[in-house]
Structure 1
Amino acid sequence: MDALDCECQDPDCSDRATHLVLLESPEEGSQTLYLCRKHERTTKQTFAAARHRVPMPPELPAKFQCLDCGHAVERDQSNCAQCGSGNRVVYVAEQIEVREAAGHHVLDANDKIEVKVFSGDDYNRRWREWFELHRFVNKTGDIYQEVIEYPDGARLESSAKESEH
């Protein structure tokens, strides 16, 4: 990425822009911003906060059944209404989501990281949300690129010189 030759587009800032940020969302369309590092970070946080959260799936209720006759038993029922047995089986179901990601780094002759690549699912603890993240960092080439894709279809791209990120 070539050096940005403009000021940060945040109205309260006169610092030099170091990041090119592209925001895309189904509701608001596309927007291109030239921002300093500080405002790139706050813009990413604000954009993430505005995303529509994908609701967690409802918990599946436990199912109680008489061990002896197989008749359904209510949770607070002490004995089976069909056979009088106090033995029961509890069935519990869980929903499991599989996520994946891969990362790789290349070391230079001094065993320092020269290039880092990450691609896949990433979890943000602050927003309690999964999203797809693609990050490329090349210290030798002075490149930082990041793409975040949200479940609601929104997308954020950020690029800068690695030395200014």
Structure 2
Amino acid sequence: MKIDKILAISGKPGLYELKIQTRSGFVAESLLDGKRITVGLRSNVSLLSEISMYTYTEEKPLVEVLRAIAQLENEGPALSHKEDNAKLIAYFETVLPDYDQDRVYASDIKKVLNWYNILQAKGLVSKDEPVVENAEEIKEQVVEEVKAKKKTTKKSE
């Protein structure tokens, strides 16, 4: 499962793939409709590879949760995120039985299932173990680029 360049952008529906960096941020392409948008440095952006879910024992990386859904569904589509909360919670308990019910809300479950179905439709989910070639390098590069942009923005102000 290659989600090292997949982004969730606060205030924007769906998921985006990081394409290129610009002077004022970066360009991302929507996985829903293929439209490209420019995202500024001040936007709240999360790499899916950096997101985790709370469990009673530890934080479980989102990649592992998505892999568990793929194994349960044999890489097919998951339950729709538009189902009622009781059904979503029951489904998620089969995926991740030890998730922390006090800190993981129904809205979080909806978001994970929506993201899974978007990734599944694009063929980006797998029940196999990921082959992470340079995920740490990519993370460090994105972090350094954001820091550098913030420094140049502060100097110009």
TM bucket, shorter chain = under 0.3
Q: Indicate the structure (1 or 2) with the bigger Cα radius of gyration.
A: 1
Work out which structure has the larger RCO, using CA pairs closer than 8 Å and 6 or more positions apart in sequence.
2
- Name the structure with the higher helix share: 2
